[in-house]
Amino acid sequence: MSLLEVSHLRVEFGHSRAVAVHDLSFTLEEGERLGVIGESGSGKSVTALAIMGLLPENAHVTGSVKLRGRELLGLRDKEMSRLRGADLGMVFQEPLTALDPTMRAGRQVAESLRLHHMSSQDTRQRVLTMLDQVGITDPARIADSYPHQLSGGQRQRVLMAMALINDPDLLICDEPTTALDVTVQAKVLGTLDERLSESGAACLFISHDLAIVSRMAQRLLVLRHGRLVESGTVDDILARPQQGYTRGLIATARLDGVTPGSRLPVLEDFL
């Protein structure tokens, strides 16, 4: 049995039933790292939110999402809350909006522990240990700080600590380093890679950056307009793409063969 089984997932929004994800199916095995790539609007984040049960009320979701054989679609909020943090963790794209500006960072990391019944006596030390494990050099100071007092890299690490604090079986990362500069990005990815290796957690890694995905994932899904275009190992997809859309994504990211004054490749050239 796969850790995660997504079958014929379809997500529609509003009265007009605008379709964001079409008949998407894939599996994720224990400890596997699966990358999801595609341009903006391809359905990457919507798929992640559907798995987490965090879509807005105007979303209409059909199909199946199973975690170790247990159907997640249709679970009540209270039941999903028990799974989030304990079995499922998520690192969101923009930490400044994902974090509560009125709560100190340490308290936010501790929320998941409290939800899953760890005693308050043990919580503080566990939070400081987790902040240290995600690469924060002064855990006590960061824990007592508000999000606006932290740098972008520190905020992203706090989000990682929140997602990892209960050792989830599956971690979903939605563009987790988009807002960071290259140096901080490399450090955050290195920390995430290390934590995943130590915990053995599976990871669904969403990004538009092919270099990052090739570092963090073993297998790739390519999405376009909410549909699965192709899938395979990272090496197969990046070295031998079968579909024009995938070739276009790769060409526009790498800019191979572009010389000064020449025309830049655009995705439509490959469709």
Q: Which structure tokens are listed for 198?
A: 């130590």
Report d(CA 181, CA 178) in Å as an integer.
8
pLDDT value, residue 258: 67
Q: Say whether pLDDT at 61 is over 90.
A: yes
pLDDT digits (tens, 9 = 90+) for 84-96: 878 999 998 888 8
pLDDT tens, position by position, 143-183: 999 999 999 889 999 999 999 988 899 999 999 887 788 88
pLDDT above 70 for 120: no
Give the SS3 label for residue 239.
helix
CA distance 200 to 93: 23
Q: Residue written as tokens 């990358």?
A: 35
Domains of the chain in sequence order: 4-240 (3.40.50.300)
33-37 and 202-206: which strand pairing?
parallel
User: Do the beta carbons of residue 9 and residue 25 sit within 8 Å?
Assistant: yes
Q: Using CA atoms, how far apart are residues 238 and 137, in angstroms rounded to an integer?
A: 36
pLDDT one-digit tens code per residue, 130-143? 999 998 999 999 99
In 10 A of CB 34, how many CB atoms? 25
Spatial strand order in the sheet of 70-71: 18-28, 4-13, 59-67, 70-71
The segment with the largest mean pLDDT, out of 120-134, 205-219, 220-234, is: 220-234
What are the DSSP calls for 29-49, one per residue?
-TT-EEEEE-STTSSHHHHHH
Percentage of residues in the chain having pLDDT higher than 90: 67
What pTM was computed for the model?
Answer: 0.91
- The residues facing 221 across adjacent strands are 36, 231
- Count of C-beta atoms within a 10 Å radius of residue 157: 27
Binned at pLDDT 50, 70 and 90, residue 256 comes out as low
3-state SS, residue 58 = coil
* Contacts of range 41-44, beta carbons closer than 8 Å, 24 or more positions apart: 41/225, 42/223, 42/224, 42/225, 42/226, 43/11, 43/223, 43/225, 43/226, 43/227, 44/174, 44/206, 44/223
